[in-house]
Amino acid sequence: MTPEVGTLACTAAGGLVISVEAEVYRIAPEDVQGLIFAGRPAPVILSRVRHVRGVVTGEVTIEGHAALHPAGRAVVVHTRVGSWIVPLVSFRRVARGEAASAPLFPLLPEVGL
């Protein structure tokens, strides 16, 4: 089973939204800056909202992380569902608001020979 392709988009506040596998993850604006300018891994967050007897409750959990690829030309997003890769130039364009979105490409696990 291969994870389906997702998208990366910018929020009005400067953070990023990652949509994959019918889930919507977020990266906070300060974490996006740390990833781009300092190469620090950024937590990938998932917010869940529930309605129980008319009361809205929610929880925010860290579901993975985004980090620069060792070659420095891409960003790799790892979640519990799978892993995706996006070229660094596309990631930066979306983060700066120059592009509305960018596709995420599934990163297939390495298979031993």
Q: Residue 8: is its pLDDT beyond 70?
A: yes
Q: What is the mean pLDDT of residues 9-34?
A: 92
Q: What is the mean pLDDT of residues 22-30?
A: 93
Residue 110: its pLDDT value, please?
A: 61
pTM attached to this predicted model:
0.83
Q: C-alpha angle with apex 33: 30 to 38, nearest 5 degrees?
A: 120
**Range of weakest confidence among 12-16, 35-39, 67-71, 102-106:** 12-16
Q: Are 98 and 2 in contact (CB under 8 A)?
A: no
Cα within 13 Å of Cα(11), Cβ side: 15
Residue 111: its pLDDT value, please?
A: 57
Query: Tokens 């985004």 belong to which residue?
Result: 66
Residue 3: its pLDDT value, please?
A: 43
Residue 76: its pLDDT value, please?
A: 96
